[in-house]
Amino acid sequence: MKLIKTIDEMRSFRKVTRQSGKRLGLVPTMGALHEGHLSLVRAAREKSDLVAVSIFVNPTQFGPHEDFSKYPRNLEKDSALLEQEQVDAIFAPSVNDMYPAGAVTWVTVEGMSDRLCGKSRLGHFRGVTTVVSKLFHIIEPDVAFFGQKDAAQAAIIRRMVGDLNMPVSIEICSIIRESDGLALSSRNAYLNPEERKSALILQRSLRRAQSSFEGGERNPAKLIAVGKQEFGYDPKARLDYFEIVDPDSLEPVTTISNRALIAVAAFIGDTRLIDNIIVDPNR
């Protein structure tokens, strides 16, 4: 496994591998790896000849009062996990390398980047699409793997790739959960024991809405109201949003006649968590 820390070295690695004709799968991460990330690595291994994982805590997707400075970083531990998964290369660049001094160019998916998490995290998705675009240009993967937990991010990246004719396929992999249903997240490490219990409210709210949907309810407003009820029972949980949208456009839906994304975000103490499910009346 190669640990690559500069853009020039990454491009040299890719030039050699491209000449070999091998299919390269990329798993973009910010490190602090958990089983959710590793499930993406395993999917990449199944569908690619070579697997690269990027580890880069991207400053441009954090707001001024968010957790960039305290976001967990442990390259040594992450590297050990990835070596066990037989990853071929880790790309762990510096901020200065990824964002040269004076850089003023951004990649923005208009009309989608201000939806769901983009409403309360202004500029977040602009930072995501900019850094993912950079990673795609530097690493030149044939296929990239993202998790369904970040459903809005996945939809926005797919749109970016299509709009800009990028020669990379996007694979979205299932949410990995703890045994009690909590979606795995690097930010779960911030939770104290009481907050960890309260964090289950996200999954409970989704299940409430899903149960109502399975009972025949197709009115999004009524399903949203059902899901939001759960947040009245725990003062440690503060709802950011509970929405039902088209999973591709992120547009709100007026009735559920096709696949729909039910998405929730909430603060548990100071920690912001997200979760979602897909419902489909035609299944």
Structure tokens at 18: 């491209």
User: Model confidence over 15-57: pLDDT tens digits?
Assistant: 999 999 999 999 999 999 999 999 999 999 999 999 999 999 9
User: Model confidence over 167-214: pLDDT tens digits?
Assistant: 999 999 999 999 999 999 999 999 999 999 999 999 999 999 999 999
Catalytic residues: 37
Handedness of CA 253, 254, 255, 258 (dihedral sign): negative
Strand order in the sheet with 237-245: 237-245, 260-268, 271-279
Q: What is the pLDDT of residue 247?
A: 98
Q: What is the pLDDT of residue 65?
A: 85
- Nearest one of 213, 205, 207, 211 to 241, comparing CA atoms: 205
User: Model confidence over 233-244: pLDDT tens digits?
Assistant: 999 999 999 999
pLDDT-based confidence at residue 152 (cuts at 50, 70, 90): very high
Position 60 pLDDT exceeds 90: yes
pLDDT-based confidence at residue 64 (cuts at 50, 70, 90): confident
What is the mean predicted confidence (pLDDT) over 232-260? 97
Position 230 pLDDT exceeds 90: yes
User: Model confidence over 74-89: pLDDT tens digits?
Assistant: 999 999 999 999 999 9
